[in-house]
């Protein structure tokens, strides 16, 4: 008879967070996503290899005959925390200029109508249906709260010694930046043969502990337990610049978010299909411009 793993060992595994990550990966597989645990990527600033706990992608067809798809890309950091997390929110007008852009790459990211150029997000009206803009509250600051001895602490530092910003928030921002840049840098432009092909990135932090919103828009802060918070990280360095929207969720909030993303992608696909001819023409015009710019750079380099 095979010997069972000791009960204390099993408890240690559960505390480590491995099972938590595996549950999230299994859920995504059941939802039809292709899943890669412990996904490695190159740090855009240092060049070192980093990881996110789970990387997953799905596909929503625009035209199977043309092999046109839009791809939801989920980048997930899972934290097996016992400490509650508190995110401080303020009211914002639910528009992309204030609440952050949807992360995307591919063709076409903009629509060309005669001489006018319109961002795809504006053309398709993301602000009307994307979950980033459904609620006019957004956090840009957070803390973990825990007891150490007789004192209560509220900080980025965790009782385990980890740092939530450094170990979870920043890796997600860097993973999104890397994935978008990698997708577009390696694109082989073929004017006249381009199709609609877009990646939509969803960086997600999942905590096993309790999640709270502290709304600071009134005269006194108001606390309430939630299952999802919208967080924005504005980051600027020599090699990386942007506003990175991140969904922070509990495990049950993660399940609901994934289902909302699927609905979102279906709405996106429906709007794209209604304008598919315009989008294809735009993709081919952009491809022609990109190829011309690339050839100009090559010529300039050879002359120097």
Segment 146-165, tens digit of pLDDT: 888 788 888 888 877 788 89
More confident residue, 93 or 271: 271
Which pLDDT value is given to residue 101?
Answer: 92
> C-alpha 92: how far from its chain's center?
20
Q: Is the peptide bond before 108 cis (omega within 30 degrees of 0)?
A: yes
Which pLDDT value is given to residue 98?
Answer: 83
- The burial class, CB within 10 Å (0-12 / 13-18 / 19+), for 148 is exposed
pLDDT one-digit tens code per residue, 20-68: 999 999 999 999 999 999 999 999 999 999 999 999 999 999 999 999 9
Distance (Å, whole) CA 265 – CA 263? 5
pLDDT exceeds 70 at position 9: no
pLDDT one-digit tens code per residue, 184-197: 999 999 999 999 99
pLDDT one-digit tens code per residue, 94-123: 888 888 899 999 999 999 998 899 999 999
Sequence-distant (≥ 6) Cβ neighbours of residue 190 within 8 angstroms? 287
Sequence-distant (≥ 6) Cβ neighbours of residue 158 within 8 angstroms? 81, 83, 144, 146, 164
Question: Does the CA dihedral 36-229-102-165 come out positive or negative?
Answer: negative
Average pLDDT over residues 243-266: 97
Distance (Å, whole) CA 209 – CA 72? 26
Strand ranges inside 23-179, DSSP E: 34-42, 49-57, 60-63, 68-79, 85-91, 103-107, 110-113, 116-119, 137-148, 151-155
Q: How many helices, marked H, and strands, marked E, lie in the chain?
A: 9, 15
> C-alpha 235: how far from its chain's center?
15
More confident residue, 219 or 211: 211
* Residue whose entry in the numeric block shows the structure tokens 């990966």: 25
Cβ–Cβ under 8 Å, residues 230 and 215: no
Distance (Å, whole) CA 179 – CA 174? 9
3-state secondary structure of 302: helix
Which pLDDT value is given to residue 14?
Answer: 65
Residue 1 banded pLDDT, cuts 50, 70, 90: very low
Residue 136 banded pLDDT, cuts 50, 70, 90: confident
pLDDT exceeds 90 at position 304: no
Cβ–Cβ under 8 Å, residues 180 and 53: no
Record the pTM: 0.93
- Residue 48 to residues 40, 101, 173: CA-CA distances in angstroms? 10, 27, 15
More confident residue, 139 or 156: 139
Looking at every residue in the chain, the average pLDDT score rounds to: 90
pLDDT exceeds 60 at position 93: yes
Taking phi over 0 as left and psi of -120 to 50 as alpha, with beta for the rest, 32 belongs to: left
Nearest to 124 by CA among 281, 291, 293, 273: 273
């Amino acid at each position: 008879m095979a010997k069972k793993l000791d009960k204390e060992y099993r408890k240690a595994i559960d505390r480590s967070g491995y099972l938590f990550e595996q549950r999230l990966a299994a859920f995504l597989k059941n939802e039809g996503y292709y899943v890669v645990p412990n996904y490695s990527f190159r740090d855009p600033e240092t060049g070192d290899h980093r990881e996110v706990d789970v990387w997953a992608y799905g596909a929503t067809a625009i035209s199977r005959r043309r092999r046109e798809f839009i791809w939801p890309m989920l980048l997930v950091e899972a934290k097996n925390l016992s400490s509650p997390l508190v995110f401080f929110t303020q009211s914002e007008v639910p528009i992309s200029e204030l609440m952050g852009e949807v992360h995307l790459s591919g063709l076409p990211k903009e629509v060309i109508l005669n001489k006018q150029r319109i961002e795809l997000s504006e053309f398709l009206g993301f602000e009307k249906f994307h979950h980033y803009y459904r609620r006019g509250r957004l956090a840009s600051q957070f803390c973990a709260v825990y007891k150490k001895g007789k004192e209560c602490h509220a900080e980025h530092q965790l009782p385990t010694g980890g740092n939530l910003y450094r170990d979870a928030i920043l890796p997600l921002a860097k993973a999104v930046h890397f994935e978008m840049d990698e997708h577009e840098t390696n694109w082989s432009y073929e004017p006249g043969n381009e199709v609609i092909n877009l990646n939509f990135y969803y960086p997600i932090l999942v905590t096993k502990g309790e999640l709270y919103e502290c709304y600071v828009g009134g005269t006194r802060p108001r606390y309430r337990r939630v299952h999802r918070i919208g967080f924005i990280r504005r980051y600027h360095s020599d090699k990386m610049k942007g506003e990175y929207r991140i969904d922070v969720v509990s495990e049950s909030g993660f399940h609901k978010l994934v289902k909302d993303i699927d609905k979102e992608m279906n709405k996106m696909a429906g709007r794209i299909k209604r304008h598919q001819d315009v989008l294809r023409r735009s993709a081919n015009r952009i491809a022609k411009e990109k190829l011309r710019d690339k050839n100009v750079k090559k010529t300039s380099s050879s002359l120097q």
